[in-house]
Amino acid sequence: MDSGTIIVLVVVGVLVLAALVALALVLSRRRKSAELAQRRAQSDELRHRAAGQTEDVVRAEQRATEAERAAEQARQEAHRAEEESAVAERAAMQARARQEDVVREADRVDPVVDHQADDYRPVTDTRAIKDPLDESAPATEPAPTDRPTHRHEG
């Protein structure tokens, strides 16, 4: 082979190689273009789905807001109820104290009750008080409510 033939073969080889590179570039660009088109279509579909969920999101946010309002109202009502309970408890304690004062006074004037004993405790549950003059009623049973539970001098 002479040098002219070798040059022609080298030039043809370079041209074939250049054509293959050009073909690879064209195919790569087409593939990238197809990928971009597919990704755009996918993103458009996702955006369309997201837009379709807007009403659901708005409804869910409204429900959450309403639930928070209801919870706040319930908290306020519970706080108000706790305050009322505390007031009622204080009133009950005051009523118990007044009742105990009256019972202590009754025990103080009752000659049968030793109100100065170390183990003395005023009994404010009148159902548990035994009339000391009534021998038939045991001390552990509630006294009938239609008769006095303390002996009264009259």
pLDDT of residue 122: 83
Query: How many folded domains does the chain comprise?
Result: 1
Helix (H, G, I), strand (E, B) or coil at 138: coil
Within-domain flag for 78: yes
pLDDT of residue 55: 92
Within-domain flag for 6: no
Answer yes or no: is pLDDT of 34 > 90.
Answer: yes
Within-domain flag for 153: no
Within-domain flag for 88: yes
Within-domain flag for 113: no
- How far apart CA 20 and CA 23 sit, in angstroms, is 5
Answer yes or no: is pLDDT of 123 > 90.
Answer: no
Q: What is the pLDDT of residues 53-97, one digit of tens each?
A: 999 999 999 999 999 999 999 999 999 999 999 999 999 999 999
Within-domain flag for 4: no
Within-domain flag for 99: yes
* pTM > 0.85: yes or no: no
- How far apart CA 36 and CA 33 sit, in angstroms, is 5
- How far apart CA 5 and CA 96 sit, in angstroms, is 127
Within-domain flag for 76: yes
pLDDT of residue 131: 61
Give me the domain span that covers residue 88: 33-104
